[in-house]
Amino acid sequence: MLILASASPRRHELLVAAGIPHTVRASSITEDRRPGESPGTFVRRLAEAKARAVDREPGDIVLGADTVVAIGKHVFGKPADEEDACRMLRVLAGREHSVYTGVCILYKDRCILDVAATRVRFAELSEEEIQEYAGSGEPRDKAGAYAIQGLASKFVIAVAGCYQNVVGLPISLVYRYLKTL
């Protein structure tokens, strides 16, 4: 049985859409970034911590994942509040950023760790657009304070890499690893 060690409804929906049967067993861990930790190292570490934090039976496969948005020296997880969402969106407006998702798959004595990176370019945003979007509530539980599949889709000029990664789980990468098991 595949266990998704995440409370993210988007990760669950992506697995369902891809026809990958699973059960959700959310884990709770501290998601603090260590000083100097790169975005890729950070999300891989959190994905593994999430996967190891859930109970599993000997034949179970556990999938842990974590996503952040990075631009320059900024690494954004989920915004603390509406004001924090506005701050993140101001930084992203008119610029290209990277979305990193760390993936950990545990099966028996195996631990597969990887990270997917996707580049996304945002249009210029007015302060009114930022305030309106932040006020919609959609950014609340999204890395980088936006949902590419939702209201923020109108802000995205270009995507280079895996679109599903930006939603929260690089399905093609996960599927390739699951096939090897």
Task: Tell me the torsion sign for CA atoms 22, 24, 30, 36.
Answer: positive
Pairing of strands 96-107, 61-71: antiparallel
The catalytic residue among 55, 60, 66, 109 is: 66
**Is there a contact between 110 and 181 (Cβ–Cβ < 8 Å)?**
yes
**Is there a contact between 169 and 162 (Cβ–Cβ < 8 Å)?**
no
**Is there a contact between 46 and 71 (Cβ–Cβ < 8 Å)?**
no
Q: Residue written as tokens 């990468």?
A: 173
**Residue closest to 104 by CA, chosen among 22, 53, 46:** 46
Distance CA 75, CA 9 (A): 22
Is 109 assigned a catalytic role?
A: no
**Is there a contact between 89 and 154 (Cβ–Cβ < 8 Å)?**
no
**Residue closest to 165 by CA, chosen among 49, 61, 72, 43:** 43
* Residue 135 Cα to chain centre, angstroms: 21
Q: Which residues are catalytic?
A: 66
